[in-house]
Amino acid sequence: MHKDTLLRRLNDKTAVIGIVGLGYVGLPLSLRYSEVGYKVIGFDIDQDKIDALNKGQTYIEHIQSERIAKAIQSGFEPSSDLTLSRDLDAVILCVPTPLTKYREPDLSFVLSTVDALLPYLRSGQVVSLESTTYPGTTEEELRPRLEKAGFVVGENMFLVFSPEREDPGNARFSTHTIPKVCGGSTPSCLEVGLALYGQVINTVVPVSSTQAAELTKLLENIHRAVNIGLVNEMKIIADRMGIDIHEVIRAAATKPFGFVPYYPGPGLGGHCIPIDPFYLTWKAREYGLHTRFIELAGEVNSAMPEWVVEKLADALNEREMPIRGSRILVLGIAYKKNVNDMRESPAVELMSLLQAKGAHIDYSDPHVPSFPKMRRYSFDLNSVKLTPEALASYDVVLLATDHDRFDYETIEKHAKLIVDTRGRYLGVHSKVVKA
């Protein structure tokens, strides 16, 4: 009866949904469940996030405070108290899965969260992992923990893997319009997983196993990482030949079949593309396999910041100036345009490399007013307002993230030298260097 009862509660929206991790994945998912009528409890260890949410305030730029305030009024309950998970019918895990300094999977957030939840889990619940990871994590790490606690997966506890597919700042898609892949530990688990997501996601895509769902997510991100690595390598070749790679890509993109445009940049950023491919690289070693495409793309992409710095140094050298002592303004420090997401941002690596060479660094980013706390980087800086006088005071303006809110005509008019890593300035410009 456990499955039938849970299915009924999920389908008639009387189920209580718990979401652990209220970041770029967990918060929009929490709001979506709340908006369609479920009771939602959101968990996070960051008390500042919990306090902000309870006041109806946002900390993710593309999520409006009004949505949060409305969800709170509808019963959305943000909390750091995991004992509340006793009341849940569903537990959805949206916690980070970074890499260690040795570029190996770090499952500590996932496993410590599961271990902390175990004392409060009960029969008749569904646990869904959304964090990107290597194939086998759900079966090899989560399932044994649940079974050791006395649950029978597929009978009185239901376990699924359903990878997140958020794209922060992309107005064309939202949580409910992006099709969602779901795999279960057993056929009964999959049935419950489809019911869990069926009311909040327009299209749920079932696959045969949790491993297939885990590998699906990795394939999506590896596809992007390898293709970005390809165009970054093509950028270097085109640069040496005196050809504008962005002109070439735009021309190639007019082909209506067999070509998908990817665009080069100063490196890879975000929580997925620079990290997730190496989860498969690590797991493949267990099978005696070497993921050469993935590793080569990683090498090309991770070398991009150094290449940009070299291009900037050459541009200064032509003006008989060294990097040391130069005043450099970095435009855009989020990892992609039109968001405030700083995770793995190549712009910050550029700032660090240039500072290490003796440059005086400032930044301007309308989405990031003050440089945030980061594990690897520390800059005591606030965003510079882009006035004509400010632009003219720098030796170089380095366009790292091409936010739409920048006034590119004003920047070109008043900057002494622009190093453009995003292809924003097409054609030949006397003061623009493509990098």
Domain limits at 355?
303-435
**Displacement of CA 45 from its chain's centroid (Å):** 19
The model's confidence at residue 1, banded by pLDDT at 50, 70 and 90, is: low
Do 203 and 288 have their domain in common?
no
Instruction: Check whether residue 151 and residue 290 sit in a common domain.
Output: no
Q: In the β-sheet with 90-93, what is the strand arrangement from edge to edge? A: 77-79, 39-43, 16-20, 90-93, 125-129, 157-161, 180-184, 204-207
Does residue 256 share a domain with residue 139? no
Same domain, 276 and 327: no
Question: In which element (H, E) is residue 111 found?
Answer: helix 108-117
Q: Per-residue pLDDT tens for 32-88? A: 999 999 999 999 999 999 999 999 999 998 899 999 999 999 999 999 999 999 999
From CA 171, how far away is CA 405, in angstroms rounded?
A: 15
Q: Which of 157, 173, 208 is the last residue of a domain?
A: 208
| CATH number of the domain bearing residue 431 | 3.40.50.720
Domain end among 155, 186, 208 = 208
Low-confidence winner among 14-18, 164-168, 236-240, 358-362 (lowest mean pLDDT): 164-168
The 8-class DSSP code of residue 421 comes to S
pTM: 0.91
Instruction: Read off the pLDDT of each residue in 223-240 and give the average, rounded to a whole number.
Output: 95
> Which string of DSSP letters, residue by residue, matches 208-222?
S-HHHHHHHHHHHHH
Q: What is the mean pLDDT of the chain?
A: 94
From 281, 302, 323, the end of a domain falls on 302
Are 58 and 124 in a shared domain?
yes
Are both 328 and 421 inside the same structural domain? Answer: yes
Residues 234-260: pLDDT tens digits? 999 999 999 999 999 999 999 999 999
pLDDT (average), residues 347-358: 96
Distance separating alpha carbons of residues 218 and 224, to the nearest angstrom: 10
Q: Over 80: is that where the pLDDT of 177 sits?
A: yes
157 & 78 share domain: yes
pLDDT reported for residue 63: 92
One domain, residues 225 and 198: no
Catalytic residue among 94, 182, 189, 272: 272
Q: Provide the number of structural domains found in the chain.
A: 3
Q: What percent of the chain has pLDDT over 70?
A: 99
* pLDDT at residue number 171: 76
Residues 224, 198 share a domain: no
Model confidence at 127, in pLDDT bands (50, 70, 90)? very high
Same domain for 71 and 157 = yes
pLDDT surpasses 90 at 98: no
- Do residues 202 and 223 share a domain? no
Could you tell me if 181 and 54 lie in one domain? Answer: yes
Active site residue 94: no
pLDDT tens-digit readout, 269-325: 776 777 888 889 999 999 999 999 999 998 999 999 999 999 999 999 999 999 999
pLDDT in tens, 187-213: 999 999 999 999 999 999 999 999 999
